Amino acid sequence: MMKKILNKKTLGYISLAVACLMIGSGVLASQPAQAANSVMTSSSSSPFVEPIAKVKDSVVGVNNYQLVSTNYNNYGNGYGNYFPWGDFFGFGGGYGNGYGNGYGNGNGNQDSNREVKYGSGSGVVIAKEYVMTNYHVVEDASSLEIAITKDGVEDAELYKATVAAEDADLDVAVLYVPGLDLEPVELGDSDALQVGDLVFNIGNPIGFNGTVTAGIISGLNREISTGTSTDRYGRTTSVVNTMIQTDAAINSGNSGGGMFNLDGQLIGIPTLKYTGSRYSSSATVESIGMCIPVNDAKTVIEKALAADVSAFNGANSASAGAQSQNGNVQNNLNGKPRMGVTITTLTGSAVQNGALPRGAYVIEVEAGSPAEAAGVQQFDIIVEANGTVISSTTDLTGVISALKEGDEVALKVFRTGVDLSNAAEIPEDGEYVDLTLTLAIVDAIAQ
């Protein structure tokens, strides 16, 4: 009996399947044109098609070339200059040279200045002859080139590029690209974004030029620690950026490309993605990418567009010889203009480990002196004078001795308000302060 029931059910299922197949075949046979039109209408109704077409040709490739040393007679154990950009959370731009340039541990002939393509990322045209990308895409480059992609194919012509403005902590750089004639994208307002907004990314992940991925804004104001940064004065701090989270895929090579809204406006710069290895070997993390808000990058853009393009390959710096007096200096007291401070070179473990910057430590500020008038305070660390980085008292006296009465000195000091000479703990809330001092001839304080 059971066997008979099962046979009836089975036959029923088979009959239903055959009927569905016949109905489907009949529809397809009788209305092939209608089905095709339906598919086309569905495809073209995507809200992404129009904005992608608007901006896709404005996303370019950025090639980073660096000088390397290689031994080329012995092919030993080297795996080449693999440069994934991605030590932090597996983010970045390009897969570099692959396994190519490492020629092993032999003692063969050495080519010490060979320039190689060290990595690739993406960039977006934000003004005529200007491309914005990530700082880490162009970091340490001996030269940069911009590659144009049309319909997913890289154009043969490459354009030389120079960094016009950069912010290493924010991870943004703007490049000047003479002769690049591509339509700039429109900058959007990243402060107006809402969770759930539709967005798309365009970039060149692992060599797939002009790749588009789509998704939504998954989160806003994500505070992401991107490691540490050591400033030009030797102070090391943690770098935390506020980013936009999206589930639109970001992979190596997307770095520096664009995240756009449905109006085709640039609202973010794809920068990093999370991977499971950061937390545990068993964790699986998918679709968590981070982008720099475009509003945060606008200051760097403005700086680049206001810069003198002839100065991109050089920088002016001031330097001068100097003298110090037994490690403690009162700036030349014999009729020469001076600041009116007693200083000493800051040393110790706090300087060595980057908790404090290098500089000239202010032991005392004279009453009525130019330093007091300018706002210099006891326990300040003078780290820069007229553009010269100050690492010692010698550096500072060298700058001052080259000036005359009435000259202005642009100072940068690091201020904690605490006596650092014997401090058990270093304050974490110190800040850099810019001051302007006018040199004068001031009688020496009573000895």
**Which residues are catalytically annotated?**
136, 171, 255
Query: Quick check: 263 and 219 in contact, CB under 8 A?
Result: no
- The DSSP line for 301-338 is HHHHHHS-GGGTT-----------STTEEE---SSS-B
* Pair of tokens at residue 304: 């680049």
Provide the H-helix boundaries in 45-154. 49-55, 135-138
Contact 150, 142 (CB under 8 A): no
Alpha helix positions (H), 242-392: 294-306, 349-352, 370-374
Q: List, in sequence order, every residue forming a beta bridge with 144; answer none if it has no partner.
A: 64, 161
* CB of 280 closer than 8 Å to CB of 67: no
List 251's β-bridge partners, or say none.
none
Q: Is the distance from CB of 163 to CB of 173 less than 8 angstroms?
A: yes
58 φ/ψ angles, rounded to the nearest 5 degrees? -95, 0
Cα–Cα distances in Å, from 34 out to 28, 29, 267? 9, 11, 39
Contact of 242 with 234, CB cutoff 8 Å? no
Q: Are 324 and 381 in contact (CB under 8 A)?
A: no
Name the pairing type of β-strands 186-187 and 265-273.
parallel
Mapping DSSP to helix (H, G, I), strand (E, B) and coil, where does residue 394 land? helix
C-beta of residue 163 within 8 angstroms of C-beta of residue 312: yes
* Structure token digits, residue 42: 């569905």
- Measured CA to CA, the distance from residue 366 to residue 344 in angstroms comes to 15
Neighbours of 397 (CB within 10 A): 26
Give just the sign of the alpha carbon dihedral 273, 176, 162, 165.
negative
Which among 434, 430, 322 is positioned nearest to 376, based on CA atoms?
434
The distance of Cα 304 from the centroid of its chain, to the nearest Å, equals: 15
